Amino acid sequence: MHRRRLRPAIVALALIAGLLAPGMVTAPPAVAAPSGGKKVIANLFEWNWPSVASECGSTLGPKGYGYVQVSPPQEHVRGNQWWVAYQPVSYRIESRKGTRAQFKSMVDACHAAGVKVIVDAVINHMSGQTGGGTGWAGSSYQHHVYPGIYQSQDFHYCGRNGNNDIVNYNDRYEVQNCELVNLSDLKTESDYVRSRLAAYLNDLLSLGVDGFRLDASKHMPAADIANIRSRLSRSAYIVQEVIYGAGEPITPNEYTGNGDVHEFRYGKDLARVFRSERLAYLRNFGEGWGHLPTGVSSVFVDNHDTQRDDGGVLTYRDRGIYALANAFMLAWPYGSPTVMSSYTFSSRDAGPPSDGNNKTLNTVCYSGWECEHRWPVIANMVGFRNATEGAGVSNWYDNGNNHIAFSRTGRGYLTINDEGSAINGRSYYTGLPAGRYCDIIHGTFTNGTCSGPVITVDANGWFAANIPAHDAIALHLNARLP
């Protein structure tokens, strides 16, 4: 839960035609990267459980998404802001997104569609409401008292800054023992707190959950997370929110022994390149830019925090260029990618579409919900990622500026023209087998047919095409016509 505010910046750029539709003794093994051939995660931020269940069957499974990340499911404080979900008051699976039974049905439906479920788990803190109150499911609480769960001795009181809040991110003690924007900070070094947190995660595992995004991991020592993980009833995919800060003593690398770690630099760097630098610079993007090792890096163009707090990233508001950046992410073999799926907002605190009682409404895509994971370019590029899994990069081309192309050796090919004008009369060497391929940027491949342009690769692996400004072509073996 990233709450440091930065000035938003929105860049309006041209649409690409067709892009947008209207207590264990031995620790279980770490799952350091999503397993299997389908590794792309869809973050259905603040969707309710019946809507997630439906989407797994109708879109995520058929399009090849391997995982869905869902918002925190535990009982939380009342309110209509998005961040109320990140203020637990109990570990009952009862929230504005649905009941325990609906959550279980959602997990089962997603599994039936071949989609695994990652829960955004809030284990660093409880609520930030100093006066206390009554939670969503009726549980009473105070800032440092949660009856039947935690009492005052289970929290940190760092005694700094007049209010126990974190101020100095260059002080390790303060970051991990003071309160993040008044959120009551759990004493995660305590055996009791560790056991209680593990019990919550194990309850979710008993419902079939496959992994966890550990919110605010930077605010807990990596050893505390390791101990909690050692108490899990079975192995689970783990990804930790650790925001890189230049010169700060707490670094993302400290946490890689526990599982994947979010690489926050990725989205900022990618946005800067697309907005104001040259795509040619992306030739060694990832580890070559000082980012985390690819095997432990979780990447995204934007997430629910950065799209609100960080003007340095691309978001759904950037439309065509946002789709292109996601296409690059899904084509480039670095890290484990997450596609963001947002609701429309104008205020940073605004919650999802809700009824008068703040209960989250069923999702209706393109009507209050942005559903970027459905945008044809992004959804079709998930299939590209799956088809090219494990293949290296070859046949890199750039014009020194904003036209690039590369193969995923023997399996796929992407070329992006982000110049201000069309590039015509060029041929491209793909290294792919000869044949007719669906251009999945502009068409969808279904049952051996393509709804858009078909590209012919000749016997020597070449094709010729004209590419408009701010556009792309993508081909892969699983979208080759008979």
Q: Has this prediction a pTM greater than 0.85?
A: yes
Q: pLDDT, tens digit, for every residue of 431-458? A: 999 999 999 999 999 999 999 999 999 9
Give yes or no for residue 36 having a pLDDT over 90. Answer: no
The reported pLDDT for the residue numbered 174 is 98
Catalytic residue status for 55 = no
Q: Copy the structure tokens of residue 117.
A: 């479920």
The reported pLDDT for the residue numbered 20 is 43
The reported pLDDT for the residue numbered 310 is 67
Query: Which residues share a beta bridge with 68?
Result: 42, 117
The CATH-assigned architecture of domain 41-388 is Alpha-Beta Barrel (3.20)
Q: pLDDT, tens digit, for every residue of 375-433? A: 999 999 999 999 999 999 999 999 999 999 999 999 999 999 999 999 999 999 999 99
Beta carbons of 413 and 407 less than 8 angstroms apart? yes
Give yes or no for residue 11 having a pLDDT over 50. Answer: no
In CATH, what number does 393-479 get?
2.60.40.1180
Catalytic residue among 174, 224, 241, 305: 241
Cα distance between the two ends of the chain: 48
The reported pLDDT for the residue numbered 5 is 29
Domain boundaries, the chain: 41-388, 393-479
The reported pLDDT for the residue numbered 33 is 56
Give yes or no for residue 31 having a pLDDT over 80. Answer: no
Of the listed ranges 143-147, 220-224, 309-313, the one predicted with least confidence: 309-313
Q: pLDDT, tens digit, for every residue of 79-117? A: 999 999 999 999 999 999 999 999 999 999 999 999 999
Distance CA 248, CA 168 (A): 10
Catalytic residue status for 189 = no
Average pLDDT over residues 221-229: 98
Q: pLDDT, tens digit, for every residue of 247-279? A: 999 999 999 999 999 999 999 999 999 999 999
Length of the chain in residues, anyone?
482
The reported pLDDT for the residue numbered 8 is 28
Give yes or no for residue 171 having a pLDDT over 70. Answer: yes
pLDDT band at 35 (very low <50, low <70, confident <90, very high): low
Q: What is the mean pLDDT of the chain?
A: 93
pLDDT band at 309 (very low <50, low <70, confident <90, very high): confident
Catalytic residue among 94, 215, 260, 305: 215
Give yes or no for residue 23 having a pLDDT over 70. Answer: no
